[in-house]
């Protein structure tokens, strides 16, 4: 894959133009973006952003996994770096804003700060993380977790994408030789600041422009399997049935009521449900469904899970059916930095930008950094809460106010 | 397709041997049977049965759709015929008993009666209906509905199987020329008697051998679609959701409770359920599920459907979601002949065979005849209630007792 730098550096640099420009790398027919880790589209986008940064006198470089940095050297000698940015990869046929906005906002903030105030006291680096979504290979945060030092080649050496291409093969093909892998761990990161679209409708419903994230939720995911008995829908009286769909309906009704009643920040979702044999005139013998539970306090997650699984167990016993529950995700909640959040609130107040504190219900690179260095995560509104879709949209005034607040934080931290 | 008669006529004629013998036409790897309408397996089986009947001095013939008859002429001059039999076709990888037992039992009953008592007063015909299951083409009761005169070529001329073969082409290929079609309507049928496996577990649970069917249920089938809003499972608070899975769970919980409470003969089943997009971390925007409701009284079906759809409507409104309900089946309940049933009970009592009255929750050829002539439907037990599966099983003593009762009815009706 050969990258032609020239085509990337003569675009306009207002936020709207940059969003469209970056979305052209991996543009889909439905006006969305597909930019999977180590794909040609991904590679072109990273190189394009690199060229952009170079044009603005940032010192740019890739680390050995493909995270791309644009460095604005500071005047002091502490060696500490303020890191800001987000991820360049997308889901399949995703939107133009998820991840991309954070990379662009950080770049524009640093560009504008440099133009206005010249060299900072502390070094600032803009980062375009190689991977966050987990869309091509079954792992997430490959970029940020390498920087934190919790991931290395051993975590990916057996992974393949859906076409059977191995992780290491894909990495090599896009120019990051696994043989040349050096752990890209950073010990100089003083603060991390990320701005991202909300991917929810809370800001929009409350007519706020900036979300100040206090916590990123913990997530637990499970597969629940109910094993009943498949029988003829006509010849099996109701009292003889072990109908897995009926049992699943009871479970899910209970779950929804409990989730609504326990804590307004708690969310519980059954998004996937597979019925066997899934035929109109046959009583379902098996139902398997996913369970996604999120809250920002581990103690609430513990209590909720304990209560619902006890209830599921009782319901299964009552219905004389078997139940199997397996957990396949357990991500701990992460707190963002209170001091930086105070600073953000002050900035928003001073600028008369409506803001609110909130919880992030989605995962972000900021959660990897949250237990690594003081970290701040900001949100701008998502129209109708839509994300991971070509319909993702944030208005230019909201995008600009986000960059405005981000610039101010970086100024306070680095100048 | 050329049929070699010789291979069909030198088998033993006890019921167990005949079940295995007939199951050899269309035998599957899993020890089941696939014998779809107008397939080679089906054709071989029909010709094999025909040869069997001829060997026992029955006059055999096909009608123009492939129903096959074996006629034992009676001595009286009324021209009335006692018809007895069932269907030869099966579902894909079905069992050895569904349909086949009824054909074999009728044949063995008539053979034994003739051996014991000679020529009957009234003519008896054993019938092997060409089609009942609807497994190859999307229609059912092709055989019996032609005899009743409610189906003709116009009902099938546009039908194709899953491989794109048209109904008429398949018919022609197996030797039944559509050009030679003569409506095979019968005006001479005085009584119809069918024996069939129960396909449920009622007889087994109650330790009875003979089920005397009072009614065949009416069936209504619907597709219910719930349209909510697909959103991010993490970033959408519970109070903002229009979760189609949660709504479906409420609907199904209500349905199950209502069905259990209304009438012990009523059954309601959600066997198919499809979730969109069916991803663990995305709130479902749409759920479509099937609804199969059966009872032997139209008034109960009316009341039940009215009540549940009113409740569904209220639940959808409360959840602020759209709902679409479309009905795609409406089969009326059919009563069997009370007088013949009295006769069957008397026979079972005299023979000390445990029996019970029951409702048929499944459809059978007897339901087509029920509104055509006095009709009687008998059941023998199905092990564990299993049917439409290679695991279908009925013990030889139960099969034999069924033939015993059937012979006695035919004797009472025809001798």
The predicted-structure confidence for B309-360, as pLDDT tens digits, reads as follows 999 999 999 999 999 999 999 999 999 999 999 999 999 999 999 999 999 9
Nearest to B272 among A251, A279, A360 (CB): A279
A283 touches B at CB < 8 Å: yes
Nearest to A362 among B232, B251, B360 (CB): B232
pLDDT band at A3 (very low <50, low <70, confident <90, very high): low
Percent of chain A past pLDDT 70, that is, above it, reads 97
pLDDT band at A4 (very low <50, low <70, confident <90, very high): low
- The DSSP code for A166 is B
Does the structure show a pLDDT above 90 at B3? no
Q: Which pairing describes strands A210-216 and A355-360: parallel, antiparallel, or unpaired? A: parallel
Q: According to DSSP H, which parts of B90-211 are helical?
A: 100-117, 142-148, 167-173, 202-206
CB pairs under 8 A between A and B: 217
Does the structure show a pLDDT above 60 at B4? no
| Beta-carbon count within 10 A of B164 CB | 7
B267 touches A at CB < 8 Å: yes
Report the distance separating Cα B410 and Cα B113, nearest Å: 8
Q: Nearest CA to B262 among B291, B218, B293, B290?
A: B293
Q: For the segment B213-256, what is each residue's pLDDT rounded down to a tens digit?
A: 999 999 999 999 999 999 899 999 999 999 999 999 999 999 99
Run of H or E including A343: helix A338-350
Q: Which pairing describes strands A282-283 and A322-331: parallel, antiparallel, or unpaired? A: unpaired
Q: What are the structural domain ranges in chain A?
A: 5-216+334-414, 218-331
Non-local (6+) Cβ contacts of A63 within 8 A are A69, A146, A147, A182, A184
**Alpha-carbon distances, residue A108 vs A17, A212, A377, A408 (angstroms):** 12, 20, 17, 12
Nearest to B283 among A199, A238, A271 (CB): A271
Give A237's Cβ-side CA count (13 Å radius): 14
The pLDDT value given to residue B11: 53
Choose the mutation target among B133, B201, B271, B385 for the interface with A, i.e. most A CBs under 10 Å: B271
B164 touches A at CB < 8 Å: no
Does the structure show a pLDDT above 70 at B2? no
- The DSSP code for A266 is -
Contact A256 B249 (CB under 8 A): yes
Judge residue B79's burial from the number of C-beta atoms within 10 Å of its C-beta, 0-12 exposed, 13-18 middle, 19 or more buried. exposed
Q: Are B327 and B153 in contact (CB under 8 A)?
A: no
Residues of B in contact with A304 (CB under 8 A): none
pLDDT band at B175 (very low <50, low <70, confident <90, very high): very high
Q: Which pairing describes strands A282-283 and A231-232: parallel, antiparallel, or unpaired? A: antiparallel
| Beta-carbon count within 10 A of B61 CB | 12
Judge residue B324's burial from the number of C-beta atoms within 10 Å of its C-beta, 0-12 exposed, 13-18 middle, 19 or more buried. exposed
* Average of per-residue pLDDT across A351-361: 97
Q: For the segment A61-108, what is each residue's pLDDT rounded down to a tens digit?
A: 999 999 999 999 999 989 999 999 999 999 999 999 999 999 999 999
pLDDT band at B33 (very low <50, low <70, confident <90, very high): very high
Report the distance separating Cα B104 and Cα B112, nearest Å: 12
Nearest to B269 among A200, A233, A248 (CB): A233
Q: Nearest CA to B114 among B124, B100, B102, B127?
A: B124
Structure tokens at A36: 């999977």
Report the distance separating Cα B214 and Cα B337, nearest Å: 8
Q: Class for domain A5-216+334-414, per CATH? A: alpha beta
Report the distance separating Cα B411 and Cα B415, nearest Å: 5
The pLDDT value given to residue B237: 94
Residues of A in contact with B240 (CB under 8 A): 201-202, 205, 385
Residues of B in contact with A388 (CB under 8 A): 232, 282
Q: Which long-range contacts (CB under 8 A, 24 or more apart) does B256-261 make?
A: B256/A238, B256/A243, B256/A246, B256/A249, B258/B304, B258/B307, B258/B308, B258/B311, B259/A238, B259/B293, B259/B304, B260/A238, B260/A239
Å between A151 CA and nearest CA of chain B: 24
* Average of per-residue pLDDT across A306-326: 97
Q: Nearest CA to A88 among A395, A365, A400, A399?
A: A365
Structure tokens at B364: 């059978």
Q: According to DSSP H, which parts of B267-370 are helical?
A: 298-318, 338-350, 365-369
Nearest to A237 among B264, B292, B388 (CB): B264
Structure tokens at B43: 């054709």
Q: For the segment B190-217, what is each residue's pLDDT rounded down to a tens digit?
A: 999 999 999 999 999 999 999 999 999 9
Closest residue in A to B265 (Cα–Cα): A237
Q: For the segment B122-150, what is each residue's pLDDT rounded down to a tens digit?
A: 999 999 999 999 999 989 999 999 999 99
**If DSSP codes are grouped into helix, strand and coil, which group holds residue B242?**
coil
Q: Are B304 and B293 in contact (CB under 8 A)?
A: yes
The pLDDT value given to residue B287: 98
The pLDDT value given to residue A13: 81
Task: Give residue A119's region: left, alpha or beta (phi > 0; psi -120 to 50).
Answer: beta
**If DSSP codes are grouped into helix, strand and coil, which group holds residue A189?**
strand
Rounded to 5 degrees, φ, ψ at A287 are -130, 135
Question: Where are any strands of DSSP class E within A63-122?
Answer: 68-72, 81-87
Rounded to 5 degrees, φ, ψ at A282 are -130, 130
Choose the mutation target among A249, A285, A333 for the interface with B, i.e. most B CBs under 10 Å: A249
A250 touches B at CB < 8 Å: yes
For residue B226, list its beta bridge partners.
B287, B323
Residue showing tokens 């116009």 = B154
Closest residue in A to B387 (Cα–Cα): A232
Report the distance separating Cα A249 and Cα A135, nearest Å: 30
The pLDDT value given to residue A348: 98
Does the structure show a pLDDT above 80 at B305? yes
B234 touches A at CB < 8 Å: yes
Contact B361 A259 (CB under 8 A): no
For A218-331, CATH gives: 3.30.70.360
Choose the mutation target among A92, A218, A228, A280 for the interface with B, i.e. most B CBs under 10 Å: A280
pLDDT band at B13 (very low <50, low <70, confident <90, very high): confident
pLDDT band at A241 (very low <50, low <70, confident <90, very high): very high
Cis before A277 (ω within 30)? yes
**If DSSP codes are grouped into helix, strand and coil, which group holds residue A362?**
coil
Non-local (6+) Cβ contacts of A261 within 8 A are none
Residues of A in contact with B278 (CB under 8 A): 271-274
**CA dihedral for A355, A358, A360, A365, sign (positive or negative):** positive
For B5-216+333-414, CATH gives: 3.40.630.10
Q: Nearest CA to A243 among B127, B259, B97?
A: B259
Residues of B in contact with A220 (CB under 8 A): none
Contact B273 A270 (CB under 8 A): no
**If DSSP codes are grouped into helix, strand and coil, which group holds residue B74?**
coil
Tell whether ipTM is more than 0.85: yes
Nearest to B385 among A200, A236, A290 (CB): A236
Calculate the CA B27 to chain-centre distance: 20
The pLDDT value given to residue A54: 96
The 10 Å CB-count burial string (b at 16+, else e) for A277-316 is: ebbbbbbbbbbbbbbbbbbbbeebbeebbeebeeebeebb
Contact A268 B238 (CB under 8 A): yes
Q: Are A376 and A337 in contact (CB under 8 A)?
A: yes
Does the structure show a pLDDT above 80 at A328? yes
The pLDDT value given to residue A1: 53
Q: Are B29 and B22 in contact (CB under 8 A)?
A: no
The pLDDT value given to residue A12: 72
For residue A289, list its beta bridge partners.
A224, A273
Contact B235 A363 (CB under 8 A): no
Residues 170-189, chain A: which have Cβ within 8 Å of B? Answer: none
Run of H or E including B359: strand B355-360
Contact A278 B278 (CB under 8 A): no
Percent of chain A past pLDDT 90, that is, above it, reads 94
**Alpha-carbon distances, residue B415 vs A159, A387, B231 (angstroms):** 77, 78, 72
Does the structure show a pLDDT above 90 at A264? yes
pLDDT band at B1 (very low <50, low <70, confident <90, very high): low
Contact A387 B232 (CB under 8 A): yes
Does the structure show a pLDDT above 70 at A263? yes
Residues of B in contact with A385 (CB under 8 A): 231-232, 235-236, 240
Non-local (6+) Cβ contacts of B35 within 8 A are B25, B26, B41, B42, B45, B88, B89, B90
* Average of per-residue pLDDT across A324-343: 96
Structure tokens at A255: 């779950």
Report the distance separating Cα A11 and Cα A49, nearest Å: 11
**CA dihedral for A128, A134, A139, A140, sign (positive or negative):** positive
Residues 385-414, chain A: which have Cβ within 8 Å of B? Answer: 385-388
**If DSSP codes are grouped into helix, strand and coil, which group holds residue B395?**
coil
């Amino acid at each position: 894959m050969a990258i032609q730098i020239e085509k990337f550096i003569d675009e306009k640099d207002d936020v709207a133009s940059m969003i469209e420009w970056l979305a052209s790398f991996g543009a889909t027919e439905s006006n969305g973006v597909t930019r999977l880790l180590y794909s040609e589209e991904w590679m072109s986008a990273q190189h394009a952003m690199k060229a952009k940064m170079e044009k603005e006198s940032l010192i740019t470089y890739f680390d050995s996994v493909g995270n791309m940095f644009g460095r604005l050297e500071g005047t002091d000698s502490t060696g500490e770096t303020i890191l800001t940015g987000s991820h360049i990869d997308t889901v399949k046929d995703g939107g133009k804003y998820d991840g991309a906005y954070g990379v662009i906002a950080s770049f524009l903030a640093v560009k504008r700060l440099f133009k206005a105030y010249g060299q900072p006291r502390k070094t600032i680096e803009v980062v375009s993380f190689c991977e966050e979504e987990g869309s091509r290979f079954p792992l997430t945060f490959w970029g940020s977790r390498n920087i934190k030092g919790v991931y290395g080649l051993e975590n990916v050496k057996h992974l393949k994408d859906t076409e059977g291409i191995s992780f290491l093969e894909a990495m090599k093909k896009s120019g990051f030789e696994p043989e040349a892998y050096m752990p890209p761990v950073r010990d100089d990161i003083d603060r991390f600041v990320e701005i991202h679209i909300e991917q929810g409708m809370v800001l929009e419903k409350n007519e706020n422009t900036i979300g100040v994230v206090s916590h990123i939720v913990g997530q637990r995911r499970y597969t629940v399997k109910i094993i009943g008995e498949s029988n003829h829908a006509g010849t099996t009286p109701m009292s003889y049935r072990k109908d897995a769909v009926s049992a699943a309906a009871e479970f899910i009704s209970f779950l929804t009521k409990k989730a609504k009643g326990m804590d307004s920040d708690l969310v519980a979702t059954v998004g996937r449900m597979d019925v066997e044999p899934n035929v109109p005139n046959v009583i379902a013998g098996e139902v398997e469904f996913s369970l996604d539970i999120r809250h920002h306090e581990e103690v609430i997650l513990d209590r909720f899970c304990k209560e619902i699984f006890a209830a599921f167990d009782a319901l299964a016993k009552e219905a004389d059916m078997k139940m199997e529950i397996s957990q396949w995700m357990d991500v701990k909640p992460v707190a963002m930095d209170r001091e930086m959040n105070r600073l953000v609130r002050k900035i928003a107040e001073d600028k008369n930008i409506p803001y609110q504190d909130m919880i992030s219900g989605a995962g972000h690179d900021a959660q990897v950094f949250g237990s690594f260095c003081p970290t701040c995560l900001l949100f701008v509104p998502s129209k109708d809460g839509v994300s991971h879709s070509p319909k993702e949209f944030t208005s230019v005034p909201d995008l600009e106010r986000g960059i405005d607040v981000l610039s101010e934080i970086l100024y306070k931290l680095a100048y």
